[in-house]
Amino acid sequence: MSKKKFKTEISQLLDLIIHSLYSHKEIFLREIISNASDAIDKLKYLTLTDDDFKTLDFEPRIDISFDAEAKTLTLSDNGIGMNSDDLDACLGTIARSGTKNFLNNLSGDAAKDSNLIGQFGVGFYSCFMVADKVTVTTKKAGDDQAWKWVSDGRTNYNVEESERESQGTTVLLHLNDNGTEYTNRWSVEQLVKKYSDHIAFPIFLEFDDSTWEGEGDDRKEIKEHKIEQINTASALWKKSKSELKDEDYNEFYKTISHDTEEPLMHLHTKAEGTQEYTTLFYVPKKAPFDMYQADYKPGVKLYVKRVFITDDEKELMPVYLRFLRGIIDSEDLPLNVSREILQQNRVLAAIKTASVKKVLSEFKKIADNNPEKYKEFIEEYNRPLKEGLYSDYANREDLMELVRFKSTEVEGWTTLAAYKDRMKEDQKAIYYITGDNESTLRNSPLLEAYKKKGIEVLIMDDEIDEIVAPSIMNYKEIELKAVNKSGAADDLKTEEDKEKEKDVEPVIKKIKDVLGDKVKDVKASSRLSDSPSCVVADENDPTMQMQQMMRAMGQADMPEIVPILEINPDHEIVSKLKDTEDKAIIEDVSFLLFEQAMLVEGQQLKEPAEFVKRLNRIMGKSL
């Protein structure tokens, strides 16, 4: 016998689950049944693919029984089972990544946290809401030794050798006061119907039935021990759409996703013809917890003729659609398809291509017909869709209609199409500005001339925009231009501007002499109206934000690429600088023009102390 401590996160998590999920305590049954179903899926797959298991006599089933007097509830499956290492790994730690992350994200608000738990999928531990002791007796398929795991769900668990006739797992719950309501036929049946009706395997309930026979004094109770199947046990996705109600879809979603909330949408497709398959996709209301982790868990399961094949295949859907949950069930793949073969399988590739198109066109439908719902969707998934813009070239046109941007002209989100409609008659491009802070961007001097001329600029404050926006290049043959790049403002240039450029050449020379290689160039600007100066990236250089991002991503040795300084020929400071020959003033003012431009772009100064000295000198002189 070995007594082991839970990993710390688990104790914390257990506490949390017990308290915050309490209003949904009944879901423990769904979670245990869904684990049992997964375990059967896994064994079934082995019997099809692994010679060692092909001869196994195996009728998949899940059994539930209860004892009201002993206050116990027992769930048993004949699935793959666990060995002692599995028990440690699966029930002693949280097998999922991101546990810490999850705990750090807790808000203390029970309703919100219970959603987090749902997304996180802590499954098994939910049984400690209704039990003060849980015994798991299990034997792994192919092993001789069975094991028993016992815990009160607090700090310790024991694993010891045990007995079990054949492979599978039995979970015995010693119910606490919150759990005793589940020791009767009706409540168990009702819960199974509600949450687990479409689990693909039969669920049997064992109970004592009593009927009365005879009349008057002869009347007597006849007790009978019964075992009845209590679920439909048909794959929900195989039913026709007309047979299914939203509730059916939603409940099924909860069983496959561990989410406690309803999904935002579902999409059920049956394809017939050259290829036969069924897909059922869901979009969770809240983005899955691990969406931005490299080791995210894929949410789409693959079935072949209703037999589960895998739930751990990232290639089933493109990475940018990793938030999708659901099922692909193919009639054409061989049942014993190996996971290695799956990755280059043509049947699967065709299903993937068609599914992506279908899913994107469903998003478009929602965007067109239900803006409220689409807004909810965009708040969660705009970013992965943008990833699609540069990773899924084949669907770029569609994705361009789906992504949303902030803008100087409208509140909330806008589309590229709507921007195009609002364009001025002689406007040559779609303009955007990138950076990491919305209000810095909105107040950027780079926008001054656009504002003055009434030209709309898209505000791109999402980190990923730095990469996505340049990759778009054109929208319906209109070029996209970054206003924080040197070339964009050429469009705005008038004859008058060109004359002014000549005018300020001497000033530019003065500034260049002072700043040297701190800037790539100094130019007269046609985009400024109130500010004296601004910095932009040269046409083919990465913007400063982009450079920052690349350094944050570990490219520390990236050479620093300096910006171009633009000055406003109409500004008082610039014209006064033209007239002065005082070397000290020229030097201070040149630096200050550069440094203030960096500051308004949200950049950090290399020598803040020098900046302050310069500022103080100039203030002293002006007083």
Q: Which residues bind ligand ADP (CB under 6 A)?
A: 31, 35-36, 39, 77, 79-82, 90-91, 95, 121-125, 169, 258
Which is nearer to ligand ADP, 32 or 356 (by Cβ)? 32
Residue nearest to ligand ADP (CB): 123
Which one, 94 or 593, has the nearer CB to ligand ADP?
94
Q: Beta strand 429-434 with 325-330: parallel, antiparallel or unpaired?
A: unpaired
User: Min. distance of Cβ 390 from ligand ADP in angstroms?
Assistant: 32
State the nearest-atom distance from the C-beta of 25 to ligand ADP, in Å.
15
Nearest to ligand ADP of 205, 348 (CB atom): 205
- Judged by beta carbon, residue 124 or residue 591, the one nearer ligand ADP is 124
Determine the Cα–Cα distance for residues 8 and 10; give it in Å rounded to an integer. 5
Contacts with 30 (C-beta within 8 Å, 6 or more apart), sequence order = 191, 195, 196, 254, 255
Which of 327/430 has CB closer to ligand ADP?
327
Contact 536, 603 (CB under 8 A): no
Question: What residues contact 210, with CB distance under 8 A and at least 6 apart?
Answer: 221, 222, 223, 224
- The answer to whether the CB of 321 falls within 8 A of the CB of 356 is yes
The label of the residue with tokens 């946290």 reads 113
Q: How far is CA 534 from the centre of its chain?
A: 37
What is the C-alpha to C-alpha distance for residues 476 and 487, in angstroms, rounded to an integer? 21
Q: 621 vs 55, 584, 615, 618, CA distance in Å?
A: 95, 11, 10, 5
Q: One-letter amino acid identity for 190? A: Q
CB of residue 136 to ligand ADP, shortest distance in Å:
8
Pairing relationship of beta strands 406-407 and 429-434 according to DSSP bridges? unpaired
Q: Considering the complex, what minimum distance in angstroms separates the CB of residue 125 from ligand ADP?
A: 6
Are 186 and 169 in contact by the 8 Å Cβ rule? The answer is: no
Closest CA to 435 of 355, 512, 535: 535
Q: Minimal CA–CA distance to 153: which of 16, 1, 33? A: 16
Q: Which token pair is 157?
A: 């668990």
* Spatial contact of 51 and 144, defined as CB atoms under 8 Å apart: no
Query: Do 62 and 38 touch, CB atoms closer than 8 A?
Result: no
β-sheet bridge partners, residue 225:
208
In angstroms, give the least distance from the CB of 446 to ligand ADP: 48
Q: Which is nearer to ligand ADP, 36 or 73 (CB)?
A: 36
For 550, the enclosing helix (H) or strand (E) is helix 544-552
Q: Which is nearer to ligand ADP, 139 or 404 (CB)?
A: 139
φ, ψ for residue 456 (rounded to 5)?
-75, 140
> Least Å distance between CB 142 and ligand ADP?
13
| Dist. CA 530–CA 573, nearest whole Å | 11
- In whole angstroms, the minimum distance from the beta carbon of 373 to ligand ADP comes to 28
Q: How far is the CB of 40 from ligand ADP (least distance, A)?
A: 8
Residue 84 vs 444, nearer CB to ligand ADP: 84
Smallest distance from ligand ADP to CB 271, Å: 30
Cβ at position 140, least distance to ligand ADP in Å: 8
Closer by beta carbon to ligand ADP, 82 or else 592: 82
- Residue 153 or 435 with smaller CB distance to ligand ADP: 153
